Amino acid sequence: MQRFWATFLLAPVCMAAHAEDPPEPRESFQWAPALAQSAIFLGIQHSVRIATEPGTRTALTGPFLPDYWRSATGVRGWGDGDPFIVNYVGHPFQGAVSGYIQVQNDPGYRRAEFGASELYWKSRLRAMGFAALYSTQFELGPISEASIGNVGFDRKSSGAVDLVVTPLAGAGVMLAEDALDRYFIRHAEKWSGNAAYRIVVRSMLNPNRSFANLLRFKVPWHRDVRGGIREP
């Protein structure tokens, strides 16, 4: 009986002490793999530019520092002369891929799924911030369109559109893929246990997540929040 009353009387004290305990620290962001994956993505993008754009190849000659400085400081107004599909489709996809690079290297948040949870929205805000940094480096940084190809040297070829659209619309693309993965792809996987079918559904309906998976040398259909394609 004495033990019962001692436990009863001390319980509120123990509960209060437990409530005041600080939360366990989250595992820190993995900068090394995130930067490595970003470098691979950046290399792919610039390789495509050099291979497919004669103007970029022509601009590789000339004094580097003066041309780069003029190009990097050449942002004027909103538009940059690129077609709609580049500014409002290609760049949002770039923002989504770089956002997923952030998510997959953020252990405390990488398993957050689309929904109303604070964890999920913090995760995607962090991803948008990372995408903004990546976009700024891609446009104006030392390994950028400004330094490789001198985009912006002609004042009509550089504007704020990509700096704004890439992270903001990229976050929108991520939200769409996250919602699709949780509310459609998960259910679609239950319709058939065929591995090829599940590969196509996961990969094709989440293209930017799939590409980001390849950058970390995982299969496109990998998911951090659930098992493989052969699991029930």
Q: Which two tokens stand for residue 42?
A: 């950046």
Residue whose pair of structure tokens reads 């929904």 in the numeric block: 115
Establish if 21 belongs to a structural domain.
Answer: no
Give the model confidence (pLDDT) of 148-177 as tens digits.
999 999 888 889 999 999 999 999 999 999
Establish if 162 belongs to a structural domain.
Answer: yes
Give the model confidence (pLDDT) of 114-125 as tens digits.
999 999 999 999
Establish if 46 belongs to a structural domain.
Answer: yes
The DSSP line for 184-199 is IIHHHHHT---HHHHH
Establish if 53 belongs to a structural domain.
Answer: yes
DSSP 73: T
pLDDT of residue 8: 37
Closest C-alpha among 87, 90, 96 to residue 172? 96
- The domain total for the chain is 1
Give the model confidence (pLDDT) of 128-147 as tens digits.
999 999 999 999 999 999 99
Establish if 161 belongs to a structural domain.
Answer: yes
Establish if 111 belongs to a structural domain.
Answer: yes
pLDDT of residue 75: 92
Give the model confidence (pLDDT) of 10-38 as tens digits.
444 444 444 344 444 578 999 999 999 99
CA–CA gap between residue 213 and residue 207 (Å, rounded): 10
Q: Residue 154 sits in which domain range?
A: 29-215
Establish if 6 belongs to a structural domain.
Answer: no
Q: Which two tokens stand for residue 232?
A: 């029930």
